[in-house]
Structure 1
């Protein structure tokens, strides 16, 4: 009997363990040995759920864990925790690892027939004075979330009359953490250097988020570039300086986004793109390497609207990448076609969603377009609780092809973006969208769904441009 091939996985979260699990479904241990290395204490968990754990909506850390190391091992995967991969030797088809446990056994080499790089992303932490001081928290892993909760407990135990938190950055992580801290009773200041919060929206839509956050009691300071974290006599963070103003803080949370964690891959000479993510083909195979694969937050993916590659850090994509990789290593066939850039979030009761291109992104790739905004309600206006949402839509001038949609509103607003995501994926025009057969009943939608109201308005704008 031929010796089993060996699949080595670097990273034990969504992409890596999805790849391992899928490959194991297709190949027995006699055919395929699977060894996975994870430098942390947890596997297969929801990083997206950490703000809700911090805010108290999720009761316990373990609720965020989809599959424990023990469960993976029961499925025939040799999962080695607290083990860091320190080097990838491409020519020698091996990886060097270091045991991080207290009684660790040093470093060793492990050979591979197939290598999966699933090293994820790292929080952005600019090189500013005091940025690494105790009391400054990035929130990327369960360990990060636990450290923040421990710190918040310490602040609460001090029985201060007021508790102040500063969140640096107003992207998805920033606004979600601002909500969590507000729920916990903190006076929250959000600092962002952009014109409006949520730069994943156009500024006019971000302004709606700004107004709503202020209405929830948060102080939102835009156009404010942070220059330093001030520390006290014990070296602990006590304030954040931005625009010449000092904002007091018992705790500082960084929400500046993430970058692909590709330092290992770069050192090994693997190809990376403009945003620093690994470049793969549609099968998630690293370009130029037959037996090296990559997926999750460490890769760049094809944007189906712009035609360019981009870095999109989302657990949904990471799991799909893993499924594709595992299928291909396991002897099947699968591809990952690309993304349209769909994302949804919330801050308190305000729902925020986008898909496709923003105005600046459309201009950057040379597209000509029309934009419209439409206000509508999420249910029939005559029913109690009918609240207004705003839908912004971009359509290509001439063809009418949908290019992007943004939605800001309350109950029922966020997931409506999925209508536009499907339209973008299938290449629908705004004229075609008007006649989509969407579900209707007064508690769920007006006769004309808010997305279709925007599509009608966009179609009219496209037709007007054609007549000129």
Structure 2
């Protein structure tokens, strides 16, 4: 009996996790696995790129979990520099183009789409000029790293290089820190009211305050109108409605959208954000032979009950494991997410999970909001640092809806307490009884998350009167 063929489109987290799991479960004479990757890297941590740029990670290859050769040694036919250009789902085949421009059709019995996300690049004058960098793939990161090295080696002595970061979301904030650490004078531009629109504006204001305290020039409420170039066509400044900001390098951190152009052309179902829609096994809805995972899909939000696009490596790796099991004849499901994310800018830790105020309003929920300031350790213990915890709870039921945390060391990972509580659909009153670990070097007697929960209980009761 001939082996089935699994074709994987995309060689990073979701795609290669699916291929690797399927290979562990099925032998090569049972399942042939062919994976196509248009770039030259596989299985790398895109989330680690800012930390490599900033010097926390020593070498580019430290970000690579498994090389192409290692995948091939494990029985996966991995083809680099090969882009999938068309899906013929009825004919069960994909068309590819290699780096020499040669086209070829490859048949499949089962297909995995792990095409990732594409960075937002608005159609502005000069946006594609040399000196303007996105930071989505490892190739992008390597190009930026090389450009910075070249810029720094050729800079006049005593002149502080200048960088403009467009967008103040996760990538923008993390890249701003990396550039500051490399000695750049950094200007951050964002059209939103405050940095980090994944937080409510009052919490984003804390991030802005910290960024300004680190020497960054943070300009919010300014829409970029174009990138200005010099006589050689290189970026020299970024223009907004308010003025011009000189730049030796421009970094785009405007977010991403699902890369689903192939899927859309093939008529596969997409959600409101353009991500592929799947069932809990990560099988594309309405297709018995196609699975999808990673940054190209929408996932179920367990708090809102709706699907949403969240581009995180944690989800992509889980998707790949589940897909690999299912295509190999085993079984697995992805239950959904609560929207947990952490980041940092220098020593400021930023975390969120669940709903923001605006999202709760859009769902028609009635809610109360509580913000407390506490410390990361017992107040008398050396190193105790302040943190702000904001908690949203539903009026009447007291159900936890969301938590945001901004603070110094020890703040960020506390959001995991709230993530578990959201997954369990706990009320804020139930949270106050959680048996959390305590010792003065790690926490006050009442952990800051529980302090916020206690205050939220009082606020819910006050609204019930």
Shorter-chain TM range is: over 0.9
Give the whole-Å Cα distance in 2 for the aligned partners of 1:243 and 1:169.
15
Q: 2:425 aligns with which of 395, 412, 427?
A: 427
Q: CA RMSD in A?
A: 0.7
Give the whole-Å Cα distance in 1 for the aligned partners of 2:425 and 2:98.
49
Cα deviation, residue 21, structure 1: 0.6
Per-residue Cα deviation, 1:176-199 (whole angstroms, up to 9, x for no partner): 000000000000000000000000
CA contact (8 A) 2:222 2:242 kept: no
Q: 1:338 aligns with which of 336, 339, 346?
A: 336
After superposition, where does 1:19-418 map in structure 2 within 5 Å? 19-100=18-99, 104=100, 106-160=102-156, 161-418=159-416
Taking structure 2 as the reference length, the TM-score comes to 0.99
Q: Which moved more, 1:152-161 or 1:39-48?
A: 152-161
CA contact (8 A) 2:282 2:293 kept: yes
Taking structure 1 as the reference length, the TM-score comes to 0.98
Give the whole-Å Cα distance in 1 for the aligned partners of 2:240 and 2:351.
28
Per-residue Cα deviation, 1:84-119 (whole angstroms, up to 9, x for no partner): 10100011000001111xxx3711100000000000
Segments of structure 1 that go 5 or more residues without pairing to the other structure are none
Residue 34 of structure 2: SS of its match in structure 1? Answer: strand
Cα deviation, residue 159, structure 1: 2.4
Residue 297 of structure 1: SS of its match in structure 2? Answer: helix
Q: Which residue of 2 aligns with 1:16?
A: 15
Runs of 4+ more than 2 Å apart: none
CA contact (8 A) 2:211 2:218 kept: yes
Give the whole-Å Cα distance in 1 for the aligned partners of 2:143 and 2:327.
37
Equivalent residue pairs, number:
463
Cα deviation, residue 243, structure 1: 2.0
Cα deviation, residue 158, structure 1: 2.0
Shift of the 385–325 alpha-carbon distance from structure 1 to 2, 3 Å rule, reads same
Residue 200 of structure 1: SS of its match in structure 2? Answer: coil
Per-residue Cα deviation, 1:229-272 (whole angstroms, up to 9, x for no partner): 00000000000011230000000000000110001111111111
Per-residue Cα deviation, 1:372-395 (whole angstroms, up to 9, x for no partner): 001100000001111110000000
Give the whole-Å Cα distance in 1 for the aligned partners of 2:274 and 2:296.
8
Segments of structure 2 that go 5 or more residues without pairing to the other structure are none
Give the whole-Å Cα distance in 1 for the aligned partners of 2:331 and 2:364.
35
Give the whole-Å Cα distance in 1 for the aligned partners of 2:168 and 2:434.
35
Give the whole-Å Cα distance in 2 for the aligned partners of 1:333 and 1:166.
47
Per-residue Cα deviation, 1:401-446 (whole angstroms, up to 9, x for no partner): 1000000000000000000000000101000000100000000000
Give the whole-Å Cα distance in 1 for the aligned partners of 2:242 and 2:203.
28
Give the whole-Å Cα distance in 1 for the aligned partners of 2:323 and 2:121.
31
Residue 393 of structure 1: SS of its match in structure 2? Answer: strand
Give the whole-Å Cα distance in 1 for the aligned partners of 2:389 and 2:101.
57
